[in-house]
Amino acid sequence: MVGPERRLEGVPGADGIVVGPVYRLADVEMPAEGAGGPEEQARALTALQAVAARLGEASARMRTAGRTEEAEILEAGQLMAEDPSLLAEVEALADGQSAAAALLEATERQAALLAAIPDPYLAARAADVRRLGRQAARLASGPPTSQPLPPQAGEGEQVVLVARDLGPTDLAELELEGVTIGGIALAEGSVTSHAAIVARSLGVPLVVGLGEQVLTVGGGLTTVLDGMSGLLVISPDQKSLREAQAAVERQERRRAALAQSREHGAVTADGHRIRLLVNASTEREVLAGLEAVAEGVGLLRTELAFLDATSWPDEAQHEAALRPIFQHVAGRTVTVRTLDFGADKTPPFLHGRAERGIALQLAAPGALEAQFRALLKVGAETGAGAGLRIMLPLVERAEQVEAARRLLHAAHESVGPETPLPPLGAMIETRAAVDQIDAIAAVADFLSIGTNDLVHDLLGLDRLTPAATVRSAADPRVLRAVGAVTAAARNHDRSVEVCGEAAGDPRIAIMLIGLGVSELSVAPSRLDEVRAAIRAVALAEAAHLAETALTLGSADAVLALVDSGLAERLQSARLSSE
| Residues annotated as part of the active site | 194, 499
Give the dihedral sign, CA 137/143/146/151.
Answer: positive
Q: Which of 301, 217, 235, 293 is nearest to 261 (CA)?
A: 293
Q: What is the CB-side half-sphere exposure of residue 425 using CA atoms within 13 A?
A: 25
DSSP 417-450: TTS----EEEEE-SHHHHHTHHHHHHH-S-EEE-
Q: Are strands 333-337 and 388-392 parallel, antiparallel or unpaired?
A: parallel
How many angstroms separate the CA atoms of 413 and 302, rounded? 23
Cβ density class 455-465: b for 16+ within 10 Å, e for less: bbbbeebebbb
DSSP 460-486: T--TTSTT--GGGGGSHHHHHHHHHHH
How many angstroms separate the CA atoms of 189 and 547, rounded? 34
CB neighbours of residue 408 within 10 Å: 23
Q: What is the CB-side half-sphere exposure of residue 124 using CA atoms within 13 A?
A: 15
- Please report, to the nearest 10 degrees, the dihedral formed by the alpha carbons of residues 267, 334, 350, 403 taken in order: -100
CB neighbours of residue 296 within 10 Å: 23
Say if CB 251 and CB 17 are below 8 A apart: yes
**Residue 475 Ramachandran class (φ > 0 left, ψ -120 to 50 alpha, else beta):** beta
Judged by DSSP in three states, 143 sits in coil
Question: Nearest 5 degrees, angle CA 417-CA 420-CA 423?
Answer: 120
N-term to C-term CA, the chain: 35
Burial level of 216, CB count in 10 A (0-12/13-18/19+)?
exposed
Judged by DSSP in three states, 337 sits in strand
How many angstroms separate the CA atoms of 215 and 172, rounded? 21
How many angstroms separate the CA atoms of 487 and 490, rounded? 5
How many angstroms separate the CA atoms of 465 and 191, rounded? 8
Judged by DSSP in three states, 233 sits in strand
CB neighbours of residue 407 within 10 Å: 21
How many angstroms separate the CA atoms of 278 and 293, rounded? 9
Say if CB 159 and CB 221 are below 8 A apart: no
How many angstroms separate the CA atoms of 495 and 447, rounded? 6
CB neighbours of residue 490 within 10 Å: 12
